[in-house]
Structure 1
Amino acid sequence: MRTDHAPVRFDTKIAVVLRDDLLTWQRLNITAFLVSGIGTAVPEVIGQPYEDAGGVRYLSMFRQPVLVFEAGKELLRAAHARAVGRNLPLAVFTSDLFATNNDRDNRAAVRAVATGQLDLVGMATHGPRNAVDKVLKGASMHH
């Protein structure tokens, strides 16, 4: 019998992988951009709106944890290839996006580069736990 206090275990995983040579501000900024893609593409990961005891309402957030990993450039490239191969929802952030400042230019910068040539600095994915674990093989939890 499940109680309201029983731990919740999710069948899916939301994960962000960041390149291990980024500055702190870059890691935070990239993570925010990447997870916004997951929230829009996979609406079932969004929970209900929040409300405090005073009746002030707040926006909905993910209903499950977002796990953040780090990896070297080659491991990030391999994780990207595995995620693409498994057809998982995927958001990417490339080094070219540091030089742009709007969505139109961001999309153009990604479109200009072949899949295998993207200079990835981060990616986010969502899917069944085991599939995401296989995509992230070798990456370590961010610290």
Structure 2
Amino acid sequence: MITEHRAVRHVRHVRPAGANKCAVVVGDELPVGLAANAAGVLSVTLGHRVGGLVGADVEDADGVAHPGIIHVPLPILKAPREAVAAIVRAAAEDDDLFFVAFSALAQSCRTYEEYTAKLAATATADLDSIGVALHGPRKRVDRLVGSLPLLR
């Protein structure tokens, strides 16, 4: 059902900034706290894996340095769980898209060690996607998520 094989490679920002797009989609049935958690985990992973998303550190008028933040829009969208799974499947088939899938299994774990042990014992087809982050050509990302509403 879900292919996460590309989630282990680093992606370089190779297109002009306006040509790429990012988006996060979370399941619309998730309570607000779990939706925020899923979006946060996916966003951190996306920022770590996709080079060029985070801008340089900036000093304010007093000379205090502030860490760089993402310099492109990152909409947080919602969709029914079945649609999230369909987006993950479609992203897995598109070599131009980088994606990170977030499963109910991952969200149920309290530690990374627990997550890795449970994931190692779970077949890909048994993973239940509750969120996904995407990065890639604007048209390809829009094709998958362009009609989805914002999480509110």
Name 1:78's counterpart in structure 2.
86
- Which AA in structure 2 matches 1:76? V
Name 1:18's counterpart in structure 2.
26
Contact kept? 2:55, 2:69, Cα under 8 Å: yes
Name 1:6's counterpart in structure 2.
none
Q: How does 1:1-143 map to 2 (within 5 A)?
A: 10-87=18-95, 88-136=97-145, 138-143=147-152
**Take 1:95 and 1:70, find their aligned partners in 2: how far apart are those partners?**
16
SS in 1 for 2:75: strand
TM-score by length of 2: 0.79
Deviates more, 1:61-70 or 1:88-97: 88-97
Flag the 1:138–1:108 CA change in 2: closer, same or farther, 3 A.
farther
TM-score by length of 1: 0.84
**Take 1:92 and 1:109, find their aligned partners in 2: how far apart are those partners?**
16
Flag the 1:21–1:84 CA change in 2: closer, same or farther, 3 A.
same
- Which AA in structure 2 matches 1:13? K
Contact kept? 1:69, 1:141, Cα under 8 Å: yes
Contact kept? 2:23, 2:134, Cα under 8 Å: yes
Unmatched runs of 5 consecutive residues or more in structure 1: 1-8
Q: How many equivalent pairs are there?
A: 135
SS in 1 for 2:41: helix
